[in-house]
Every structure is written in C-alpha cells, then in structure tokens.
Amino acid sequence: MPEQRNIDAETPFYVADWYVDPGTCRISRDGQSHKIEPKAMTVLVCLAQKQGYVISREELEDIAWQGMVVGYDSLASAIIKLRKAFGDDAKNPGVIETVPKKGYRLICPVDTAANVKAADVRHSQATSEAGDTEHSIQGSEISTSSITATMKKPLVSVLIVVLAIAAFFYLYGRYAQERTVPGKALATTDKLVIAVLPFKNLSDDKQQDYFSDGITVDLITDLSKVSGLSVIARNSVFIFKDIDVDIRTVQRELGVDYLVEGSIRKIGQQVRISARLIDASTSFNIWAERFDGTLDNIFEFQDAVTTKIISALSINLTEQDKSRLAGKYSDSIEAYDQFLRGWQKLWLSTREGMVAAREDFNRAIALDDRFARAYANLALTYVYDHLHGWSKNDELALQKAQEYADKAIAIDPDLPQVYWVKGFADIFQRNYQQSLRYAQKSIDISPNFADGYGLLATTLNYAGNPSEADKVMRKAMQLNPKHPAIYKVIYGEILFNKRDYKGAIKYFNEALNMNPDIEESRIWLAAAYANIGDIEEAGWQLEQVRINGRELSLQRMEKVIPFKDPEQRKYFIDGLYKAGVTN
C-alpha cells in the first residue's frame, strides 16, 4: 500500500528530487526553478498528499476550484502545466500518471522537506566529527565585544517588537477609518438592499442545477427592475451556492437588509418551489410560501414571488416599474427550459461550452421566435467567438452578433441585457459612442445592473478615458461586491492604461486566482510585467497561454483589442513585443 505523507499547502516538500514550495508556487532542482500557477500547485499538493493513489477528476476539481463552475479542460490544463514544469511525459510518465476513466496518480516518491533535511544533517554529522571538535574549541574563545553584542540583542528585540505593535495599531486605525465594507455603501442609500440566494436543487438529478440557478437569476433580474430596491448581483450571491451559511454572515458579507432563499424540486413536468423573505438583521421570516404545480405555472410563480416581496416591503411601484415588470421572457415553457440550459453552459466561458450554448439558444428560438433574451445570448456567443479567435471569420462573427442583438431589441426594448449585448458588440467594431449609449440605456432600465456599469467602464477605457472608467468600474464592483474574475480583468486593463502597471498586475493575478482559464488576463499580465522590466515573468505568462493551444501575434492583438488612443495601443503592443510576441 502507498504511504500517505503529511503534506500540507503551506510547508515545502519533495517530489522525487524536486523541491516544491507551495507558498511561492515554485519547484526547483539543480539550480533551475519553475513557477507553477496557484490552481496547478493545489492539484499537485492534493496528489502528493495521496501519493500512489488514484484521485478522481471530481475530487481534484472540488479541492482546487472549490465549487466554482469550470470548464472540463481546466484540470487537464493544470496537469499539462505540471508535466511541463517537471519535464514529464504523458505517454511514459515518471511523475503524474493518467488513469483512464478514473483520474490521476502521483507515481514518484514524495517526502517532507523536514525529513530530507534531517537525513542530510545525520549524514553531515557522521562525516564531520573532527571538524565539529575543532569548531567547538574555536568557539570557546569568545571576545569581550561579542559578549556585549549578545547582551544587546534582547534589548534590540524588545524595541523591534514595541515598534511593530505601535505600527500595527496605527495602520489598523487608518485602515478602519478608510475601509469600506463591500455592499455596505449600498445600505447607506434610501433604497432597501436585498439579495436572492441561489435556490437549492432538491431534485435527485444534479443536472437540474441549470433550472434552479436560472430561476434564481430571473428573480434577481425581476427585482432589479424595481427602482425602490437595490439588488445584489448574481456573482456576489452565487458564492453561497451549495453551502449552509448563517444569515448574519451573508448580511455582513453583502451588506443587505433582506434575503430571499428557497428550493426547487423538479421531477418531469411537476415542480415544487419553496421561497421565503428574511429580515437579515433579525433572521425572522417576513413571508414564506410553497408553490406546487407544473412547468406551465413557472412564470406565475416568478410573478407571485416578486409581487409578494414588493408587498411585504411596502414598496410603492412607479408606472415605469409596473411597465418593466409586466413582460414575460417567453410564452413557451419548453423554450424557456432550453434557454436556461444554454445560459448555464455560457458561464463556462470555454469554446465547447459556447458551441453547446449556441445550440440551446437556437432550439429556444425555434420554439419561440419572439424570445428576446435567447436572441441576445445567441448574439453574445458570436462576440466571444470574435474576442477569443474561435471563428474563422471575425467580421462575420461580429455581423451575426449585431444582427441577433438588433433582433432582441426589436422584440423587447425593455430588457437591459439586450442593450448590454448590443453595446458589447459595438466596442469591437470601434463604435464607441454607440456602445456608451447602449450601456447607459441598460443602466437606465435597471439602475442596479452592475454589468451595465462594467460595459460603460470598458467602453470608456478603450475610448481613451481610463480615469473616468476607473470611477465607473468602482461603481460596478460596489453594486456587485463579490464580483466575478472578469471585473478584476476589466479593472486591471483600466489601471494598465493609466500606466499603473503594478496595480494592474495585482488585479490580473487576483482574476487568475479566481479563474486560471481567463487567457486575456495572462496576455495583459505579460504586457504589464514586460513594461516594468520583468521579462521572465512576462514570458512565463505567455507560455501558459500557448500551452492551451492559443496562437498569439501582434497583428491579431492589434485587431482584437479595440484601442482608440494610439498611445495606449503602443504601450500594450510594445509590452507584448518585449514579452516575446511577434508578428
């Protein structure tokens, strides 16, 4: 039986003769050193903890990505990067073995750094007794000056500790005065702040998550149409998915006044949905109800929950609020179900997920050709095709994106998402003024639409106004306090264009810690590192992009990244050139 080692995520250890330091994410041997990205290092630590045992893909994903929705190739990418760093061969492995249909196994010896060091010490002691004796004799000849220095050391140590404590309390006091808790700023407005927690999927089939997640997001969207409410965005609440969390914890993390939580059990065409509204400060239920019916009743349920919440909170609806709440997304339950399936796949942000999502949106449109959100999301898949270079014809991809976005707006001009997609497509066609107009339109329709502010900030940044973009993006992050990785990428790009490369590097790295598959973050990170002279780190980031099979060229980057300001484009392209990207 393989021996399980006492390996943890903080203490260095050895894999064969490679020294592994999880704290710095580096492995080294014989003077050579390789940096490992944090997620890949987490996978390595997990494999080392159970050296010789097969660990399933699911277990490794759960540990490394902790419940995040990731693409199927995320783990495979991490394994590829580990093998490249170790110089391992997948066909004839000496470090990591792939066990088909089961998982991965670390097959080389593993030991703690402490054990290796102890062995080295014993070996050194056995071969240097004479030297030790001589050293002890010399050591007895202690000078008066060394005694004085020894007596001073405790006094110096005490002084250092006192100064450190004083500095800590000074800095903590400044920090406490200046710190703004994410979400709390929203509670200082006249609006009530509410969060819809992810509805739990109580069905036996885990694949039904798409349905419960979709219902959650649609409730968030509906409540966001009410001008008297400030609604926490999707990404901020979905960090609480599949975990039992104390109400006070959510209140503290998101700064909310009220919470909505519930569960869904879907079996065939039958649906049971439970929901309740909670006062976050007292944890008392203000309203709770259960709905039993068929899928045909799902829209009635959504309308009922929204109405009950508005009534319970005594919110007076304006005529504009009533108009926004009046519309339904689709008259077809089957089309709505297909849309939710595609929406779930869209969030994977992978090429395969995008293709599958597009198929679902087309099926939804075939069932209901007046389904505006399906057209909008279909348009979004083509924008991503252009951005990531997944299309053989970039111009055609953007043309299709514009066509489907225009169709969505024509069908339902009261949806903020349709203007967001339209504005997103306009950026890449350098239609900056039009993109700004559509971003503002999405915010006018839904004042809590954090993604609308994100689009506005992105457009301002590419249009040559990063200072104004900075202010707007801070607003987006305030509205969505637990924002997704892409928000950090956008803010990093803004800081890059302000020439704050160190600040940009911080945000790009934070984005990669959340989602290591965001290649745009690595590309910008490479340019930022190169512009501060760290060519080695810049080259490493580009290498990670190339490992995933993406071809990079300066010509392609100039074409895709829609800079209006030639100087901004120059700093970005020059950075990539220094990092090693060629034409």
pLDDT of residue 120 exceeding 90, the answer is no
Phi then psi for residue 34, to 5 deg, are -130, 135
Residue 127 confidence class, pLDDT cut points 50, 70, 90? very low
More confident: 4 or 375: 375
Looking at residue 575, its amino acid is G
Residue 34 confidence class, pLDDT cut points 50, 70, 90? confident
Query: What is the pLDDT at residue 169?
Result: 34
Tell me which CATH code domain 13-113 carries.
Answer: 1.10.10.10
Query: What is the pLDDT at residue 485?
Result: 84
Overall average pLDDT of the 383-400 stretch: 87
**C-beta separation of 320 from 343 below 8 A:** no
| Radius of gyration, CA atoms only, the chain | 28
Overall average pLDDT of the 129-151 stretch: 41
Overall average pLDDT of the 240-259 stretch: 80
Overall average pLDDT of the 268-282 stretch: 83
Query: What is the pLDDT at residue 170?
Result: 36
178-182, 224-228, 534-538: range with highest mean pLDDT = 534-538
How far is CA 295 from each of CA 290, 330, 394, rounded to the nearest angstrom? 15, 13, 39
Domain spanning 185-326, CATH architecture: 3-Layer(aba) Sandwich (3.40)
Q: Which of 231-240, 392-401, 425-434 has the lowest mean pLDDT?
A: 231-240
**C-beta separation of 390 from 560 below 8 A:** no
More confident: 456 or 338: 456
Query: What is the pLDDT at residue 185?
Result: 34
Tokens 């803004």 correspond to what residue? 494
Overall average pLDDT of the 123-134 stretch: 46
Tens-place pLDDT, residues 309-344? 777 776 666 666 555 554 556 778 788 888 888 887
What element of type H or E holds 25?
A: none
pLDDT of residue 181 exceeding 70, the answer is no
Measured between alpha carbons, how far is 68 from 62 in angstroms, rounded to an integer?
A: 8
Query: What is the pLDDT at residue 547?
Result: 75
pLDDT of residue 139 exceeding 50, the answer is no
Q: Which of 13-27, 486-500, 538-552 has the lowest mean pLDDT?
A: 538-552
Overall average pLDDT of the 263-276 stretch: 84
262 strand-pairing partners: 275
Query: What is the pLDDT at residue 566?
Result: 94
More confident: 357 or 301: 357
Residue 496 confidence class, pLDDT cut points 50, 70, 90? very high
292 strand-pairing partners: 272
Query: What is the pLDDT at residue 114?
Result: 65
3-state secondary structure of 331: coil
pLDDT of residue 243 exceeding 90, the answer is no
Query: What is the pLDDT at residue 318?
Result: 65
Residue 492 confidence class, pLDDT cut points 50, 70, 90? very high
Residue 106 confidence class, pLDDT cut points 50, 70, 90? very high
Overall average pLDDT of the 151-175 stretch: 40
Query: What is the pLDDT at residue 157?
Result: 47
Q: Which of 15-24, 123-132, 242-251, 343-352 has the lowest mean pLDDT?
A: 123-132
- Topology of domain 331-429, per CATH? 1.25.40
**Which two three-digit tokens encode residue 147?**
């005694």
Measured between alpha carbons, how far is 298 from 50 in angstroms, rounded to an integer?
A: 46
pLDDT of residue 208 exceeding 90, the answer is no
More confident: 574 or 513: 574
Query: What is the pLDDT at residue 171?
Result: 34
How far is CA 475 from each of CA 182, 282, 422, 449, 573, rounded to the nearest angstrom? 11, 29, 21, 10, 29
pTM higher than 0.85? no
Share of the chain above pLDDT 90, in %: 31
pLDDT of residue 9 exceeding 90, the answer is no
Tens-place pLDDT, residues 562-573? 999 999 999 999
Measured between alpha carbons, how far is 231 from 218 in angstroms, rounded to an integer?
A: 12
Measured between alpha carbons, how far is 337 from 342 in angstroms, rounded to an integer?
A: 9
**Which two three-digit tokens encode residue 320?**
């504009």
pLDDT of residue 401 exceeding 90, the answer is yes
Nearest to 23 by CA among 31, 15, 11: 11
pLDDT of residue 152 exceeding 70, the answer is no
71-85, 127-141, 173-187, 383-397: range with highest mean pLDDT = 383-397
More confident: 501 or 138: 501
3-state secondary structure of 102: coil
Tens-place pLDDT, residues 355-374? 899 999 999 999 999 999 89
